[in-house]
Structure formats: C-alpha cells, structure tokens
Amino acid sequence: MVADTYDKGSRQLSQTIHTMAVRNTLLTHENDRLREALINEKKKRKRGKALLLEAPSQYDGGAIFWSPQKVQEARDRQDQKDAEEKAVQHQKEENQLRREAQKAEKARMLEERKRTKAVARELRLKAQA
C-alpha cells in the first residue's frame, strides 16, 4: 500500500492504474460487441434453399399459398435430389480411389518386372563368365 497519497509518484501510479482499468473495461465491452455482431452476421447468412415448388400453369405473378402436402412433397424431392448428389460425389471419390490403387499396383508390377529382368541379366552374365 502507498504510504504518502500526496506524493507525485503515487498519484501518477494511481492515475496509470485507473487508466489501464478503464481501457481494459472498454476493450472488454468492444470485444463482446464484436462477438455479438459476428454471431448476428453468421445467423443472417444461414439461409435455406428455395423449395422445388412448381408454379401453377396460369400463374399471374400474385401470391401463391401452398398446402402442407405440397410443401412436404417439395421437401422430399429436395432431400432426394441432395441424396442423389451425395451418391454421385461418393461414386466419384470411389472411382478416384480405385484409379489411384490401380496406378499404384501398375507401378508395383513394373518395378517387379524390372527387378526380375535385372536378376535374369545377372544370372546370364554369371553363366557367360
């Protein structure tokens, strides 16, 4: 604890501590507000996809009210479409893995043939010598 509160050094120290505490509080509040703004921005960006609802044949541009059954059918179509896209992507990945495995097998077989030819060549040279 400071003995002399009227000393210039102690007043300066007290002022510095007060200034740092205020800055810390302000920065903490600013940090909290920035976090909230970031969360709000992320929430704003989460938008769903439009459903695959077909407009009636005599659509004049006005408001259309869809029955719950039509909405559910559209959601089912969207789920099916997403599943098909996922299956196609999975198939592409499987094909890529299979091609890489075939390439590795081909490289291994080529190396094996080279090794076999080298051994045969050495045996031939020993037989000639």
Q: How confident is the model at residue 4 (pLDDT cuts 50, 70, 90)?
A: low
pLDDT at residue 129, rounded to an integer: 83
pLDDT at residue 25, rounded to an integer: 97
pLDDT tens for each residue of 9-67: 888 999 999 999 999 999 999 999 999 999 999 888 777 777 777 777 777 777 888 88
Q: Output the average pLDDT for the chain.
A: 89
Cα atoms found within 13 Å of the Cα of residue 91, Cβ hemisphere only: 6
Q: Which residues contact 4 (CB under 8 A, 6 or more apart)?
A: 10
Cβ distance 66 to 53 under 8 Å?
Answer: yes
For 27, the token pair is 């920065």
